[in-house]
Structure 1
Amino acid sequence: MHPRLPLPEASDGDDLGGFLAWLREAIPQVTHYGIHSPAWDATTLHWKVALDANLNDKGTGFGGALAGETTLLGWCWTTLWLRARGRAQDVVIAEGQQRFLAPVTTDYHMQCFPLEADGIARLEASLAEKERGRIKLVQRVYCGDTLCMEAQGSYAVLK
């Protein structure tokens, strides 16, 4: 087992570039994904991804890389949401599914947000009561305006 790299302290306005740098060191696979330009807007986490880092034999986005990136995006959403509330708890994916809708043929952008309108409130209540909880998130992959993939995941916040 490898030593765990501690999550950096959260700061005002959270430094997403610093978080991404930590992520690349903590999870070496992330360095190969071509992720850049993370942004947080209210309840949605966005990032851009270079296609050339994720090509398959057909010259389009490799489904395994896309699945990994959507899983990671949901984990990051949950981790960053917790950090903004001063909570340093472990997050794991409990369940996930993907639908591939169109080939990824160019650099792409991804977004992640809660599946259910009351998802954040339910997670907050569960954390207050049990110090653990779950949230269902949606991750979408776009080439320009074309929705190429949609994933959903249930993320568990551990005690």
Structure 2
Amino acid sequence: MHPRLPLPEAGGGEDLETFFVWLREAIPQVAHYGIQQPAWDDSVLSWRVALADNLNDKGTGFGGALAGETTLLGWCWTTLWLRAQGRAQDVVIAEGQQRFLAPVTTDYHMQCFPLEADGIARLDTALSEKGRGRIKLVQRVYCGDTLCMEAQGSYAVLK
């Protein structure tokens, strides 16, 4: 098990660059995805990805890499949200699905946010009452303005 990254200071917010340096060490596959410019805005986590790092034999985005990246994006969303709450708990994906809508032909950007408007509040309540909970998240992959892939995942926060 990789050592946990210390929680950010209360009210100080997460340093995304520090988090991603740690993440690349904790999950070696992350270094191969070509993730750039992570950003956390309100309840949306986003980042840009270099297509060159994720090509298939047809010169488009490799579906397996895209599936892995969307899963990782949801895991990061949940982990960063927990850290902002001062909680150091493990997160796992419980279930997920993907829909490939158009080929990924250029560098792309991804975003992740809760599926349900009350998802964050429900997770917060479950954590307060049971010490564990789940949240459903949506991940979207865009080439420019074109939606190329949409994924959904249910992420479990363990005790």
TM-score by length of 1: 0.97
Q: How does 1:37-56 map to 2 (within 5 A)?
A: 37-56=37-56
* SS at 2:138 equivalent: strand
Cα deviation 1:65-85 (Å, max 9, x = unaligned) = 000000000000000000000
**Does 2:69 correspond to 1:69?**
yes
Aligned equivalents of 1:141, 1:6: Cα separation in 2: 29
**Does 2:25 correspond to 1:25?**
yes
Instruction: Decide whether the 8 Å contact of 1:8 with 1:22 is kept in 2.
Output: no
**Which ranges of structure 1 fall in alignment gaps of 5 or more residues?**
none
Instruction: Decide whether the 8 Å contact of 2:46 with 2:112 is kept in 1.
Output: yes
Alignment match, 2:143 = 143
Q: How does 1:7-156 map to 2 (within 5 A)?
A: 7-11=5-9, 12-156=12-156
Question: Please, what is the CA RMSD of the aligned residues?
Answer: 0.8
Aligned residues: 157
Instruction: Decide whether the 8 Å contact of 1:136 with 1:155 is kept in 2.
Output: yes
Aligned equivalents of 2:14, 2:129: Cα separation in 1: 26
Cα deviation 1:17-53 (Å, max 9, x = unaligned) = 1111110000000000000100001000000000000
Aligned equivalents of 2:148, 2:3: Cα separation in 1: 33
Alignment match, 2:4 = 6
**Which ranges of structure 2 fall in alignment gaps of 5 or more residues?**
none
Instruction: Decide whether the 8 Å contact of 2:7 with 2:86 is kept in 1.
Output: no
Offset of 1:8 from its aligned partner?
3.3
Aligned equivalents of 1:10, 1:52: Cα separation in 2: 33
Aligned equivalents of 1:65, 1:158: Cα separation in 2: 26
Aligned equivalents of 1:50, 1:4: Cα separation in 2: 26
Aligned equivalents of 1:77, 1:41: Cα separation in 2: 11
Q: Which amino acid aligns with 2:28?
A: P
